[in-house]
Structure formats: structure tokens, C-alpha cells
Amino acid sequence: MTTVVAQGTFDLLHPGHVHYLSDAAAMGDELHVIVARGQNVTHKPQPILPDRQRREMVGALAVVDEAHLGHPDDIFVPIERIDPDIIALGYDQHHDEEKLERALDARDIDCEVRRASARESEAEELCSTGRIVERILERRS
């Protein structure tokens, strides 16, 4: 059995998230998703939704076998526990694949790192939490 891990913030689920997780699920037999804790999100605005709510929403998706909250201090703790064969990164996630592979090697975590494909979207479709928030602010102001 091939175990895949995907990870992200997953604030305000949208079609881009569904595509990423569907693509990740297709890479193996079992998909585990690690949902970042808000306190660990430093590369973009803090999530709007609470940690547990984001985990529950991701876990409700049919392609997800299990959703986990990230560790508050060490992002590699859940990866070590799950012991995946593949880590699937979103096509536009900020992670540096080579740096991630070196960190995995340093922790003796033997898995492949792959990127999910980009999703082709319709003109009116919003596949970004930031754009969804902007649209809400425009229309509610």
C-alpha cells in the first residue's frame, strides 16, 4: 500500500484545494492530510477558520482517508508518525522541494516528494482563499 501525505492551511475550502487533494490521492492508496495549525502559518495571513474546523472540513472530503492537525512545534512529527511513501505538495505551495528532501533525509524519513498539477479554472472561479476574502470584502463593504 502506498501512503501519501498532503499538507496545507486549507482555510475556506475551494476548488483548488479539492483538486490538490484529489491529485494527491491519485498518487497512492491512502491519503493523509496534515492541516497546519494557525500559529504555524507565517508565510501568509493567519487563517480565518479555527484549526479543528479546518481539519474537520478536510476530513469530510471523500478523497481524504484521515486528516490530522499539524504539530505545534515540529512539522515533521506527524510525518514521522504517518511514515508516508510520498509527500504531495500543491503546485503553488511555497515549499522548496530540495530543502524539504534534505530535511527529510536528515530525519531518516524515506519518502518521495512530488508536486500536484495545476488546476485549470473558469474565469469567474475563485481558487485562492485570499481572493475569496477580497471578494467578500468588496461585496460586503
Q: Which residues are annotated as a binding site for ATP?
A: 9-10, 14-17, 92
Closest Cα partner for 66 from 99, 93, 32?
A: 32
CA separation for the pair 11, 46 (Å, rounded): 9
Is the separation of the CB atoms in 90 and 99 below 8 Å? no
Instruction: Kindly provide the b/e burial profile for residues 36-61, where b requires at least 16 CB atoms within 10 angstroms of the residue's own CB.
Output: bbbeeeeeeeebebebeebbebbeeb
Q: Cβ distance 89 to 104 under 8 Å?
A: no
- List binding-site positions: 9-10, 14-17, 92
**How many helices and strands in the chain, by DSSP H and E?**
5, 5
